[in-house]
Amino acid sequence: MDPGAAPLEHLYTSQTHPYFRAPHIYIAFPRRFLPGQQVLSEDQVRSLGLEEPGNYRGLKLDTSDGVFMTSRGGTRYDRTFMEAFVRPGMDLRNWVSRANTAVLGVVPTGPGEMSLYVARHKGQPSHYIERLALRLDGFASVRASYAGECGW
């Protein structure tokens, strides 16, 4: 994969597929692995039982999220939006190594709606797949601050 001008990062399991509304555009939701970025405190690790037998070893040591990329084919990808697309959220069990991986592209799930399925609680007995609903073509949005400054 050639990320163009984007910085090199640990990107895994890209799930690159043609977008169902524009099959000439490929979309990808790779998991971004952030080695050594432990977010949870030792008290949180203990309270969640992350070091118990049955859990993936080393869960607490790293963090992962999911990013969004596009391609017109080949090995070149565009990462216009560098922020995480799939974030760990409020659930502390998602602030671990290898969580928040997209399962398989986006699929239409209703009028005006599409869904992305994401693996949560990776490496833990509570591991599950979560459905994230998006508006059609809802890969990016514009936000404006109260002061009127615009941000992507």
Domain boundaries, the chain: 10-151
Name the band, by pLDDT with cuts 50, 70 and 90, for residue 144: low
pTM: 0.85
Given a cut of 60, whether residue 152 has pLDDT beyond it is no
| Apex 124 CA angle, 118 and 126, nearest 5 | 70
Q: Is pLDDT above 70 for 143?
A: no
pLDDT in tens, 25-68: 999 999 999 999 999 999 999 999 998 888 888 889 999 999 99
Q: For 59-95, how does the pLDDT look when each residue is reduced to its tens digit (9 = 90+)?
A: 899 999 999 999 998 888 998 888 999 999 999 999 9
d(CA 54, CA 122): 12
